[in-house]
Structure 1
Amino acid sequence: MSAGVNWPYPRWIAHRGAGKLAPENTLAAFRLGAEHGYRMFECDAKLSADGVPFLLHDATLERTSNGHGIAGEQSWAALSRLDAGAWHSRRYAGEPLASLEGLIRFCLANGHALNIEIKPTPGQEQRTGDVVARQAAQLWTASELPPPLLTSFAPDALRAARAAEPQLPRGLLLDTLPKGWLDLALELGCVAVVCNQALWDAATVARVHAAGLRALSYTVNDEWAAERLTAIGTDGIITDRVDRFSPVA
């Protein structure tokens, strides 16, 4: 990277804990990812109705739990009683939804780095960015570990995170490259751009590096894709295939 800024994060990042091998965004998934040698994890964080950050990708509960409706409209007391494992397999039946605090404490206890994707319930972008950043900064006190990397597709969530805890690093998530995307990342004070893997080519990576940022990719599950992204100089790979890719290879 031309800026010469130290990048403290591992190259390989386990998506939602262990990809599809365990129920995503549960502590069981992060434990399984760690068993496969991963030392950095990506998760999705949103707020309960009473303002507790917890892990869930979708706005609604049906796909990954036995709950129903919009998750952000329910209290953490109600959400914490749901089964977030049986949908995946009998092995994980009874696995609860995870709080962000629980995941952070797991990472700190085991020396793992963390990428927190701020995934707001629609309409809650600023509040979610603010609360997630404040909790991450309050709990992440291990000076020997790099701070959590906060990422989001929602610029307003990143702006709120920056206002609340400007020292926490941020990354802009992109599924397309609209006009002004790099300027937006710089305006938000990001340290990284995290793109759909298909968007990266050598010239785009070079632009990001020339601006002093890092280039990360999601979700990379094929060897040919990982080899291509390595060849063009990207800096981080988020993968479901914790069983296929060794993070130390």
Structure 2
Amino acid sequence: MTQLDLPPWPYPRWIAHRGAGKLAPENTLAAFREGARHGYRMFECDVKLSADGIPFLLHDATLERTTNAAGPLRGQSNVAGHHHWHALSQLDAGSWHCAAYAGEPLPTLEAVARYCLHNDFFLNIEIKATPGTEHHTGAEVARHAARLWQDAAVPPLLTSFDVESLEGAMQSAPELPRGLLLDELWTGWLERALTLGCQAVVCNHRLWDTSSVTQAQSAGFRTLSYTVNEKVDAQRLIALGTDGIITDRVDLFEPDQNIQLSI
């Protein structure tokens, strides 16, 4: 199967990483709004579960880097997934970035869904399970996503480095598209993506070359890359015929630009 034989791919090529997670606090609605201001229509974000089962946006397993948890949760667990949503919703997820975003809250997946659906934006949900909860998190995030996007023309793309999370997502909402995230091309990566029923493989951009792109596309997968912040890397990936570029540099790349990039 060649790229021309692949089913239609409904997502834009350019994807804003963690919203616009360098110009605004990552994984917040403020970051989404900043990405949208730069013309982006698709966003990547990280989603995990609170202790009471609410899907919310956060990259790290712990809270210190991107919230003020050391104050409100002093003496309690620093693991985000150990807390109920009520406590998490009180945290400041913006001040760490700069004073202008003081008080920006952690958003729920439901809030992000409302924002994306209202504005006709697309979403890539990376499932970021609290260690030890991979299968359950994948299943629950997929279940909520299927509910939230049940009437949408284009559902979110669910991705994860965790095979167990993708297995949970596949069992819970098999109709949602999935992608296997890779930071190395470990033995059996292509076969595993097939058994997981994935539609895409999302690689560290350095892993894509003519051979790996051909392997993936010949097996029927779309090829996406993270995290691409240099023009020379973007040009190489576009020349290879890949399908998606996840970037922090929403201020550098115009999302509707043509294949030819000036370097």
Question: Identical aligned pairs, as a percentage?
Answer: 65
Task: Say whether the 8 Å CA contact 2:146–2:176 is kept in structure 1.
Answer: yes
Q: 2:36 aligns with which of 26, 34, 37?
A: 34
Q: How does 1:13-52 map to 2 (within 5 A)?
A: 13-52=15-54
Name the residue aligned to 1:114: 123
Give the CA deviation at 1:2.
Answer: 4.2
Deviation >2 Å, runs of 4+: 141-144
Task: Say whether the 8 Å CA contact 1:108–1:142 is kept in structure 2.
Answer: no
3-state SS in 2 of match to 1:245? coil
3-state SS in 1 of match to 2:5? coil
3-state SS in 2 of match to 1:78? helix
Q: What is the rounded CA distance, in whole Å, between the counterparts of 1:14 and 1:142 in structure 2? A: 24
Give the CA deviation at 1:19.
Answer: 2.8
Name the residue aligned to 2:63: 61
Aligned Cα root-mean-square deviation (Å): 0.8
Q: What is the rounded CA distance, in whole Å, between the counterparts of 2:14 and 2:8 in structure 1? A: 17
1:167-222 deviation per Cα after TM superposition (whole angstroms, max 9, x unaligned): 00000000001100000000100000000001010111011000011110000000
3-state SS in 2 of match to 1:132? helix
Q: What is the rounded CA distance, in whole Å, between the counterparts of 1:240 and 1:124 in structure 2? A: 28
Give the CA deviation at 1:3.
Answer: 3.0
Code of the residue aligned with 2:208 in structure 1: it is W
Task: Say whether the 8 Å CA contact 1:19–1:242 is kept in structure 2.
Answer: no
1:113-150 deviation per Cα after TM superposition (whole angstroms, max 9, x unaligned): 00000000100101100110010000113433x11000
Q: 1:211 aligns with which of 210, 219, 238?
A: 219
Q: What is the rounded CA distance, in whole Å, between the counterparts of 1:176 and 1:120 in structure 2? A: 20
Give the CA deviation at 1:4.
Answer: 2.7
Name the residue aligned to 1:186: 194
3-state SS in 2 of match to 1:82? coil
Name the residue aligned to 2:141: 132
Q: Which stretches in structure 1 are left out of the alignment for 5+ residues?
A: none
3-state SS in 2 of match to 1:77? helix
Answer yes or no: is 1:84 the counterpart of 2:67.
no
Task: Say whether the 8 Å CA contact 1:221–1:241 is kept in structure 2.
Answer: yes
Q: How many residues align?
A: 248
Name the residue aligned to 2:261: none
3-state SS in 2 of match to 1:163? helix
Q: What is the rounded CA distance, in whole Å, between the counterparts of 1:143 and 1:242 in structure 2? A: 26
Name the residue aligned to 1:201: 209
The two structures have a TM-score, normalised by structure 2, of 0.93
